[in-house]
């Protein structure tokens, strides 16, 4: 019985770690697709856990907020807060919200 419990714990840990890696990779993919579809190049992106700009009160724990610096086709740099994922579905959603600063 003890070995079954150990297998369960190991399985749970592997699933949890894989879920975290998938979540991070999915958020990165969504933000890259958003930038490419708008003809932008991401110069710098920073995940924001607390300082989420205007998304502070409206973001669920299933969403990720980035503060990004992007370059447009003319070489101009712009800054924005970008939130990826749906409020309920998180990274299972393709939703991307942008607030320029």
How far is the C-alpha of 80 from the C-alpha of 91, rounded, in Å? 20
pLDDT at 99 over 80: yes
pLDDT tens by residue, 26-60:
999 999 999 999 999 999 999 999 999 999 999 99
- pTM, whole model, 2 decimals? 0.89
Break the chain into its structural domains and give their ranges.
Answer: 2-100
Question: Quick one: pLDDT band at residue 3, thresholds 50, 70, 90?
Answer: confident
Q: Which strands make up the sheet holding 41-48, listed edge to edge? A: 41-48, 64-71, 77-84, 96-100
């Amino acid at each position: 019985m003890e070995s079954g419990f150990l297998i369960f714990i190991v399985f749970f840990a592997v699933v949890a770690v894989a879920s975290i890696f998938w979540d991070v990779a999915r958020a990165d993919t969504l933000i890259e697709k958003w930038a490419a579809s708008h003809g932008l190049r991401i110069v710098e992106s920073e995940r924001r856990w607390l300082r989420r700009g205007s998304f502070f009160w409206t973001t669920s724990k299933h969403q990720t907020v980035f503060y990004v610096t992007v370059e447009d086709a003319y070489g101009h740099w712009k800054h924005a807060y970008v939130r990826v994922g749906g409020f309920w579905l998180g990274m299972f959603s393709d939703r991307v919200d942008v607030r320029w600063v």
